[in-house]
Every structure is written in C-alpha cells, then in structure tokens.
C-alpha cells in the first residue's frame, strides 16, 4: 500500500478529536459513538437488507456509504467517523472462514481446537492483498467526508481475536479460549504473536490509506484475571503500538494518535497509562471518571481518556440522558472549566434498539455540558 499524503485529501475542518487525543485542552469534548454506523439507523437496515454483512465490508463503495450515514444524519454533532468494517477481517486474512449469521452473530465453521490446527493458518499474510478492500474503503471515505471530521481506522486486539478463533463465535465463558492459555501457554503466545504481526501491518496500511486515528478493541480483556491479562494480552497490545510507530517512522509517515479500548480491564489502567504506548485509553462505564483520571496520572496525566457513559442510558429517556451526560462531563472536567484530553463516547457500542433521535439528544447534551461553564 503506497502512502497517500494528506494533501491528496480535502483539508480537515474539525480537528477536535485529534487535539483531544494528544491530551490538549479543548473548547468542548469531541464526541463519537462506537458502532455509530450500525443497526439502530433505518438507512443502515435498508442497505443491509440487500447485502450480506461481509459483502458490505468487502465492497468499498458500500462500506463508505455506511460509514458516511451517521455523519450525514448528525452533521455538526459528531466529531469523528470510523470506517465500517469488523475486527474479524483479521482471522479471515489468516485463512479462516467467518460467517455473520442472522440473530446469532459471528460464526467460525472450523475454529481452532488444538495447537496443531494453527497449521491451517496462512504463514505469510500480505495485507495489501487480503485486506486491500479495507484500505480502498478508507481512501474512498476520506474523500467522501470532504474534511468534515477525521476518519478512525481500527483492528481487534490479539487476545480478543484469538478467543474468537478458538471459541468459534461469541461466548459467555470463553472456556475454550481460556483452556488454551492454561493448557498450551507457549503455543498460545505463538498464535498471539502471529495475530499481532497481521494487526500491525493492517493498522499501518490503514494509515497509509488515510486513517487519521487508530483504535485497538480488546473487547474481551475483562475476561482475563489480572495476571493472565499481564501475560496474554498486555504485551501484545504494547507490541502493536510500538511496532506501528516504528514502521511509520521507518517510512517517514507522520504518526497518528492511537487509542486502546481494553473493556473490563480497569484494574490495568495505571499500567496501560504508563507502559502501553497508546495516546488514549478507552473506558467502559463501570469506572467513575474521577477515579479513571486519578489512576492514569491525575489532571496532568500523559494519556487522554475516552468514554464512558453506560450505553443503556440511551433507553432511559431524555431527562435521564441529560442528567447522566452532565454527571459524566463534570467528572471528566474534574473541576476545570474546559476538558483536557477527554473524548466523549459510550462505554461500549450502541445497541440496535436505540431511537436515533435519542442519540441526537445525547450528542447535543455532550455539546452543551462538556464545554466551558
């Protein structure tokens, strides 16, 4: 993938997200929503009726259209777009079949059951071939945004991807994936390293294609005990950040901010703030903003924070939404008049039953309460 310089795209008119991700004080908190291009939008459902999920992911024009839908609907309210794709495109690039089944979600017909099954994975993954469709969608979307907001690229974290590859889909217990790290710790680390290498190349390719910020989703980080997280997740998360930065430097490509969302791993926030190498840490809703600020270094912390309202507040009615957004903003402003290093978001992805008008109200409340008093 050849690097596409910023001069090849329309100039960015809203850099609030990028400034906040660098830890700067901002006039208000930038806001975007995980899964903002998704099933709660009627325009998404209309398009989805005509196309398979992964068909949309693999068709740059369709992925671009889906990515732009919430930007159009909430123009002036959203401060970022995130490319429409899925974390499971990485296992697909490694040669695994992944299906998206109605009412069930992701399904691997032939998951990894024992370490010997790793021989089925591709030894050398050329992301410029296997994942070119994502890069093409990013470039097309950057042009389609016309500089309105920055574009976020992403991938799944190695532990979360490994868990899917072994479980064969979603799981409430992750007993199969966890049995690997207990029975086959060294083989698990080999698999984690292989996934990490693909993630690094994939993220670098997304920057080359036009992504202006990167996020790594460790959705199942909270399923690991602290010592297991320290052994089977954290080193690979750190490896992604350091390797992406090194590869960008080696090709004289400007660095972009990087965000890590290790859902449920609040026990590790101080460690991740000090050692992970990410600019921003995403937060779920089960930690108070004041506590998150404290454990990550206080008001002068090195990392920015993203989050973290309970996604279900969007079902609670407008009074509750306004009350809780005000509470969240007061926590992150931490006694200051203006936010510093805070990106407003939900504590996880938006869910399909949300009324789009209630999300609009949420965004309006963030604008209202996150700025100067």
Cite the active site residues. 35, 39, 48, 86, 164
Tell me the C-alpha distance between 295 and 289, whole Å. Answer: 10
Tell me the C-alpha distance between 287 and 94, whole Å. Answer: 35
Report yes or no: 58 and 133 within 8 Å, Cβ to Cβ: yes
Q: What sign does the CA torsion over 33, 352, 349, 267 have?
A: positive
Could you write out the DSSP letters of every residue in 266-283?
Answer: GGGHHHHHHHS--SEEE-
Tell me the C-alpha distance between 261 and 157, whole Å. Answer: 9
Tell me the three state secondary structure of residue 87: coil
Angle, helix 175-183 to helix 185-209, in steps of 10 degrees? 120
Structure tokens at 90: 């990485």
Residue 82, φ and ψ in degrees, nearest 5: -130, 130
Q: What residues form DSSP beta bridges with 345?
A: 308
Tell me the C-alpha distance between 360 and 293, whole Å. Answer: 27
Instruction: Give the closest residue to 365 by CA, choosing from 23, 31, 16, 36.
Output: 31
């Amino acid at each position: 993938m050849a690097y596409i310089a910023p001069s090849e795209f329309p100039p960015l008119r809203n850099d609030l997200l990028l400034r906040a991700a660098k830890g700067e004080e901002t006039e208000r908190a930038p806001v975007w929503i995980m899964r903002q291009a998704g099933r709660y939008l009627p325009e998404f459902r209309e398009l989805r009726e005509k196309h398979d999920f992964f068909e949309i992911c693999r068709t740059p024009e369709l992925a671009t259209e889906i990515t732009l839908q919430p930007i159009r609907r909430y123009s002036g309210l959203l401060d970022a777009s995130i490319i429409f794709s899925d974390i499971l495109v990485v296992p697909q690039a490694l040669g695994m079949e992944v299906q998206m089944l109605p009412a069930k979600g992701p399904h691997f017909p032939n998951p990894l059951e024992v370490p010997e099954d790793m021989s089925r994975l591709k030894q050398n993954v050329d992301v410029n071939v296997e994942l070119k469709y994502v890069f093409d969608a990013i470039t097309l979307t950057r042009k389609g945004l016309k500089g309105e907001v920055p574009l976020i690229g992403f991938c799944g974290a190695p532990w979360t991807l490994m868990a899917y590859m072994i479980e064969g889909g979603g799981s409430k217990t992750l007993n199969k994936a966890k049995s690997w790290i207990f029975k086959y710790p060294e083989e698990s680390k080999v698999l984690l390293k292989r996934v990490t290498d693909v993630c690094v190349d994939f993220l670098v390719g997304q920057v080359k294609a036009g992504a202006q910020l990167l996020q790594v989703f460790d959705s199942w980080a909270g399923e690991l005990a602290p010592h297991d997280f320290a052994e089977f997740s954290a080193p690979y998360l750190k490896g992604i950040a350091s390797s992406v930065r090194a590869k960008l430097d080696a090709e004289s490509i400007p660095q972009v901010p990087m965000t890590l969302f290790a859902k449920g791993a609040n026990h590790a926030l101080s460690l991740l703030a000090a050692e992970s190498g990410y600019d921003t840490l995403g937060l779920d809703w089960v930690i108070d903003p004041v506590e998150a600020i404290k454990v990550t270094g206080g008001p002068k912390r090195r990392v920015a924070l993203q989050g973290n309202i309970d996604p279900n507040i969007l079902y609670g009615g407008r009074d509750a939404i306004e009350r809780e957004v005000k509470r969240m903003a007061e926590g992150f402003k931490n006694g200051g008049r203006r936010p510093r290093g805070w990106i407003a978001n939900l504590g996880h992805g938006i869910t399909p039953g949300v009324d789009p008008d209630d999300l609009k109200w949420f965004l309006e409340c963030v604008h209202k309460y996150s700025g100067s008093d």
